[in-house]
Structures are given as C-alpha cells and as structure tokens.
Amino acid sequence: MTLTLTDKASTVVKAISAQSTDSESGGLRIAAEGDAADFSISVVPAAEPSDTLVENDGARVFLDPSAAEALSEAVLDADVEDDGAVRFSVGTAS
C-alpha cells in the first residue's frame, strides 16, 4: 500500500506545484528527517531516482524511501488558512 491523497490535498499539491515549478514532471517531495517521525516538504522540479511516486488526479507527490515506508498506509490532507498558508496533515487510512 502507499500514501493516499484526499481530493483537497490533490488540489493544493497541483496548485503549489504549478506556481513553484515550470516542469510538468515536478511535484511535492516528502522526505523523512531524523527518526522518520518528522518530515520535510518541498516543491521540486522532478523526483529523485529512489523516490516513490504517488499520483492522484494530476497531483504528484514524491516520497523518499524512508517517508514511503513510514507513510505507506497514511492519508495526506491539506487545509488552506485565511492568510493563504497551507497546512498538511497525515492520518491513517480507514
């Protein structure tokens, strides 16, 4: 199993990727930091060779190997605050 994106997360990922990169192969990259309980999120023009691709409705999320393992049965959601700030949250798949 792999990470699942909600419809809202897919919409936000597509919007962020379109604003931040000119590359059609770009997307959001999630990498495990330290003990794999912390993650960094960045917009990248392309995946790293070892990344796992999660694609939903045109939204592309790349997971480094540790993040792919840690998030294998998780759901990524997103909320946009009134000031435009984006908050991603990870829950468990039901």
Query: pLDDT of 2-14, one tens digit each?
Result: 899 999 999 999 9
Q: What is the reported pTM? A: 0.89
Residue 59 CB contacts under 8 Å (≥ 6 apart), including other chains: 5, 9, 10, 11, 13, 14, 17, 27, 28
Cα gap 13→17, rounded to integer Å:
6
Q: How many domains does the chain have?
A: 1
CB 68 within 8 Å of CB 4: no
Cα gap 42→17, rounded to integer Å:
10
**54 Cα distance to chain centroid:** 8
Query: The CATH number of the domain where 13 resides is what?
Result: 2.60.300.12
pLDDT at res. 94: 64
pLDDT at res. 36: 57
Residues 58-86 have pLDDT tens digits of 999 999 999 999 999 999 999 999 998 99
Q: Say how many residues make up the chain.
A: 94
Residue ranges making up the domain that contains 14: 4-92
